[in-house]
Amino acid sequence: MSYVHVDNLVKQYGNGDASVRAVKGIDLKIQAGEWLAIMGESGSGKSTLLSMMGALNTPTSGRYIVDEIDVYALGQDERADFRKNFLGFVFQSFHLVPYLTVAENVMLPLVTVRTNRKKKRTLAEEALTRVGLTGKGERLPNQISGGEQERVAIARAIVNRPPILLADEPTGNLDTKTSREIMELLQALNSGGMTILMVTHNPECALYARRMLRLSDGLLVQEEETQKGGEGYAAREGQKMIPFSEPSTFSRI
Amino acid sequence: MTLKDIAFHNLKRRKAKAAFVFVGLLIGVSSVVAFISLVDALTQNINHKLEQYGANILIVPKTENLSLSYGGLSLGGVLFEMEEIHQGELGKIQSIKNAQNVAAIGPMVLGAVKVGKQRVLLAGVDFEVSPILRPWWKVKGTLPEKNGVLVGSEAARVLGVEVGSHLQVNGRDLKVSGLLEETGSQDDQILFAGLSSAQSILGKKGRISMAEVAALCSGCPIEEMVSQISQVLPGANVMAIKQVVKGRMETLDHFRKFAYVLSAIVVLVGGLVVLVTMMSSVRERTAEIGIFRAIGFRRSHVMRIILLEAGVVSAMAGVLGYFVGLGATKAVLPFFAEGHGHGIEVPMDPLLAGGAFALALVLGLLASLYPALLAARMDPNEALRTL
């Protein structure tokens, strides 16, 4: 069975004549350690699909299964735990908390994890080192550049070592050079076995992924494998990353 | 990094909002503290005054006759067949439920005596308790000891005696140790001797004509005390001098009710200030809450952050509110209390301090509960869209 299974997901906003079907039934199978790029015009449903795959947006119908866990069959609290343990989010506008330092922002996903302060700080420092921000932990988000803020967002997304990284336009606000650096960083994470789902408008960025999906009007209209993104995937195919602190309460199908 | 750190960081960042919540609670709590401590201080003030009024319960023998005197003017011709109370029975008063409110018991024996050609009323009293029972007495000379007598101003004038003079009372020689300055009461016409001396002169050993009781009545269960004394002294008629006590306590009771209603209104307004401010704070933080939820915070975690913030501010407002309220009471007391509140203390009351702290905490948390619930129930996807 695939690591991530999207089974006929539908999302409809509103009711009756005023209703809008943002996603009209999408099926996907994603293997552990894969990198998928989701492309499409504005309003094609890619962000809605990503939010549903981020366990943030309950679908109107269909199932979303990760590591044999039926995500939307979970209760609210369990779903929050699922997000904490399985998912890392990188948002387009970084979404850093302005009154927390860089290190504190990175530590946010660890706030509800039962471990001591020292361990949390060590994990945050490791994540910051991994994204090339060693020594910048005490700065506030407004004291670093846009590229650095994106790196902080990535460090925050990976600090609890989630198996899946969801990135929504991760280079949308960055220049070409910085975009490339961020893509190389994601590539390194993917090489380490992290499954990446990335929404992007940028075809160059999409080429880093193993598979490119194109959405149009809420439907999956095109799917192709890229040559570059496939590199090294065969070697790690099927290898699952183990969540940092998965509680044993998740029931599996 | 913990939920507490997030709450503290946010408080530091949103100082103006935190200050607004703080001031709202501070006004509410300090008002309640001020009202309560002011009522307490005024009660203390009234009790202090009551002590100055002396005796407020009279114990007289039961009689079937009605008095034919009014305002000190006797309509004469009617003889009262006086019965007496046994002095030993007065000890029973110390066994009543409110015995701790009894400040002094003054037994008194009365009888007519002959001084020269004049018939004068002789009263035997316990001079040890007279400063409590008759605080208005001003004595020229000293209070009498054995074989001494204190003479009322009018009696002294009629009898033509001075301090140091000797009087033959029913054939017994008594030295005038002091003269009573004019009181404007019946006391001016009486000779006062020690209780046992008077009982001996009047031939009423171990018996008394009446007794006066000074009750310090905080909250003043004066009528209850009258009933309790009546039960232990069934042969006596116990009466309360109620007018002064009742009038003052009723006024204070009205003020207390008014203060409580006003406190409730101020607390309600304080709670609304907290509610509105916390609601606005939560709305401002929609995106932030969306991030928290997206990275795996449970609803309860979000609630705890909001309630922690409210709790910290409330606790601070509770502590400071107590002292501000106490200070306010001290400041306004001279305008409310008689004698400009001199001699009235507004002490630190641990119970009131604890109550103020608890009130601030409960009020702050209750008023923040709805905003916290709102924050916790926020759809993370919707919240992130606001970014």
Question: Which chain A residue's Cα is nearest to B14?
Answer: A99
Distance between CA B160 and CA B177 in Å, rounded? 14
HSE value, Cβ hemisphere, 13 Å, CA-based, for A248: 0
Out of A56, A104, A110, name the one closest to residue B294 (CB): A56
- Reported as a single tens digit per residue, the pLDDT across B101-153 is 788 889 999 988 888 888 899 999 999 888 888 888 899 999 888 889 999 99
If asked whether residues B97 and B206 sit together in one domain, one would say yes
Out of B13, B301, B381, name the one closest to residue A99 (CB): B13
If asked whether residues B26 and B118 sit together in one domain, one would say no
Number of A/B CB contacts below 8 angstroms equals 76
Distance between CA B57 and CA B240 in Å, rounded? 4
- Reported as a single tens digit per residue, the pLDDT across B251-273 is 778 888 888 898 899 999 999 99
Question: Which chain B residue's Cα is nearest to A84?
Answer: B296
If asked whether residues B269 and B179 sit together in one domain, one would say no
User: Residue written as tokens 């001494």?
Assistant: B148
If asked whether residues B270 and B210 sit together in one domain, one would say no
If asked whether residues B291 and B205 sit together in one domain, one would say no
HSE value, Cβ hemisphere, 13 Å, CA-based, for A205: 28
Q: Which of B102, B127, B124 lies closest to B210 in space, CA to CA?
A: B124
What pTM value is reported for the model? 0.69
- The DSSP result for B110-152, as a single string, is EEEEEETTEEEEEEEE-TTTHHHH-TT--EEE----TTEEEE-
Strand duo B139-141 + B148-151: pairing: unpaired
Q: Determine phi and psi for B217, rounding to 5 degrees.
A: -110, 90
- Verify whether the Cβ–Cβ distance B287 to A95 is below 8 Å: yes
* Last residue of one domain, picked from the residues B215, B240, B265: B240
A74 in contact with B, Cβ within 8 Å: no
Q: Which of B25, B38, B61 lies closest to B346 in space, CA to CA?
A: B38
If asked whether residues B271 and B354 sit together in one domain, one would say yes
**pLDDT number for residue A5:** 93
- Reported as a single tens digit per residue, the pLDDT across B318-351 is 999 999 999 998 888 888 766 665 667 777 889 9
If asked whether residues B226 and B196 sit together in one domain, one would say yes
- Verify whether the Cβ–Cβ distance B1 to A83 is below 8 Å: no
Domain that holds residue B173: 56-240
**pLDDT number for residue B248:** 66
**Amino acid making up residue A245:** S
Give the Cβ contact number of residue A31 at 10 Å: 18
Give the Cβ contact number of residue A136 at 10 Å: 17
Q: Which two tokens stand for residue B372?
A: 């916290």
A156 in contact with B, Cβ within 8 Å: yes
Tell me which chain A residues have a C-beta less than 8 angstroms from the C-beta of B380: 56
Q: Alpha helix (H) ranges present in B140-241?
A: 153-159, 195-202, 222-232
Q: Which two tokens stand for residue A113?
A: 């994890």
- Verify whether the Cβ–Cβ distance A83 to B296 is below 8 Å: yes
If asked whether residues B85 and B180 sit together in one domain, one would say yes
Q: Which of B287, B292, B293, B294 lies closest to B387 in space, CA to CA?
A: B287
Please determine, for residue B81, whether its predicted confidence score (pLDDT) is greater than 80.
no
Predicted ipTM of the assembly: 0.87
Domain tally for chain B?
2
If asked whether residues B216 and B330 sit together in one domain, one would say no
Query: Which residues are registered as beta bridge partners of A36?
Result: A197, A211
If asked whether residues B100 and B139 sit together in one domain, one would say yes
Q: Which fold has domain A32-58+85-236?
A: Rossmann fold (3.40.50)
If asked whether residues B158 and B278 sit together in one domain, one would say no
If asked whether residues B101 and B65 sit together in one domain, one would say yes
A109 in contact with B, Cβ within 8 Å: yes
- Listed as ranges, residues in chain A with pLDDT below 70 are 1, 227-239, 241, 244-250, 252
Segment (H or E) for B364: helix B350-376
Looking at the complex, report in whole angstroms how far the Cα of residue B386 sits from the nearest Cα belonging to chain A: 11
User: Cα B381 vs. chain centroid, distance in angstroms?
Assistant: 61
Best mean pLDDT range from B60-64, B68-72, B255-259: B255-259
Looking at the complex, report in whole angstroms how far the Cα of residue B297 sits from the nearest Cα belonging to chain A: 6
Distance between CA A155 and CA A9 in Å, rounded? 30
Q: Which residues contact B386 (CB under 8 A, 6 or more apart)?
A: B286, B287, B290
Q: Within chain B, what is the greatest distance between any pair of CA atoms? A: 111
